[in-house]
Structure 1
């Protein structure tokens, strides 16, 4: 593990966890226990960065799940401030992160309710990012999978990246509270991976047309356009 402690903005508190502990699951457990919003559970290792933030959005769940694309935009902004300018970051609707076209980690979301019309008592967004490939000698076996330091980002400090992600997360949450989802839409659409292309999801196949005002996925097949709510990406923590 990396010993130095990240520094977060006021109202955010860090909690480091040991190897073998999933920060996302830990954050969900803390949220269910009633911890204050702003808890950042993290595990920083030489080859991987994992973190999860407990939030308490005061809106129904179907609106609150905008925290998933919002956290992706925040990550792109954070890495963009630290990485070389030629490094490209794109975001999958399901939460996947793409760096220079290849899959490089994931964003996750869970909440204290599954009712899209209810206000969640807590909501957690998580980030899991490989820093080095598991096997440097076999990266050619998985050309669609990569790691951050294999994409020209070896000088990006993991602590600085985590701190930057949380700062940008706070910035975008403030914008979301003031202006709603429109600014996030505008930013996210420019980063969306696979828009206009064919995809398969939840047993359906079609063309990814874009998203609705609540970031529901619009999937067009030969007969109609299906709307898949973003809340279907919520993970159930037991």
Structure 2
């Protein structure tokens, strides 16, 4: 594989991570005080991984909307490069669905983790499956639980072009979060992409797996879940924060 250097917007600084995990690198560098905009990335034949360091200026419960902004940015990027019939959906917990199958996921970490405190840093990570390993190269639709870009007719997409597009589109949506109008625009875009909205879902959290009807979200994109029995509950996006 011949690797070129991806070109990112001026506010972002790319860092080739080689075989290392870009999400771990980004979190480590963020904790050391690196500037926002650092974007470590890693590319193999099978996976595209990247992570973006952010410096929120609002409480964590509100800043978590950046997680959704980067998800919509990914959908926009794939939509611009993939065949028009390709369907991309976003699971509330970060999973990425391509034509209904799992195709990777988004990850998020921040410090501190107090929803009421303004975090010193936040990192949004991307892990996208480009092609399935040898032996799993089936026809599209034959692996509904797990798929890849190549298996869904997107094998001609240049992964570095996709990485560049994710950075650009995510930056646009991140800027939208600076205003109430832009935040509403993000919600409208995200609502049309979210997986299983209005349906029964099981939410795989770190310490429990609540089940119920996914009614919608609050102003900070927290999930409103209606169990079969008991009161409706609100699950904050900050419950998705990962330890690194």
TM-score normalised according to structure 1 size: 0.95
The aligned counterpart of 1:216 is: 222
The aligned counterpart of 2:186 is: 184
Query: Separation in 2 of the partners of 1:146 and 1:82?
Result: 18
Question: Once the two structures are superposed, what CA deviation does each residue of 1:155-200 show, in whole Å capped at 9, x if it has no partner?
Answer: 1100000000000011111111133521111111000101111112
Q: CA deviation at 1:137?
A: 3.8
Question: Once the two structures are superposed, what CA deviation does each residue of 1:120-170 show, in whole Å capped at 9, x if it has no partner?
Answer: 111000000010002344648843100111111011100000000000011
Query: Separation in 2 of the partners of 1:10 and 1:136?
Result: 41
The answer to whether the aligner puts 1:6 opposite 2:13 as a matched pair is no
The aligned counterpart of 1:107 is: 106
Select between 150-159 and 2-11 the one with higher mean Cα deviation.
Answer: 2-11
Query: Separation in 1 of the partners of 2:114 and 2:182?
Result: 21
- Counterpart of 1:236 (choices 210, 235, 243) is 243
TM-score normalised according to structure 2 size: 0.93
Query: Separation in 2 of the partners of 1:138 and 1:76?
Result: 24
Aligned CA distance change for structure 1 residues 2 and 122 (closer, same or farther; 3 Å):
farther
Please list, as runs of the form range in 1=range in 2, the aligned pairs for 1:1-238 lying within 5 A after superposition: 2-19=2-19, 21-137=20-136, 139=138, 142-178=143-179, 179-201=181-203, 202-221=208-227, 222-237=229-244
Are 1:106 and 1:128, in contact at CA under 8 Å, matched by a contact in 2? yes
SS of corresponding position for 1:181: helix
Question: Once the two structures are superposed, what CA deviation does each residue of 1:47-101 show, in whole Å capped at 9, x if it has no partner?
Answer: 1100000011111100111111111100000111111100000000000000001
SS of corresponding position for 1:125: strand
Unaligned runs of 5+ in 1: none
Count of aligned residue pairs for this structure pair: 236
Instruction: Quote the RMSD (CA, aligned, Å).
Output: 1.5
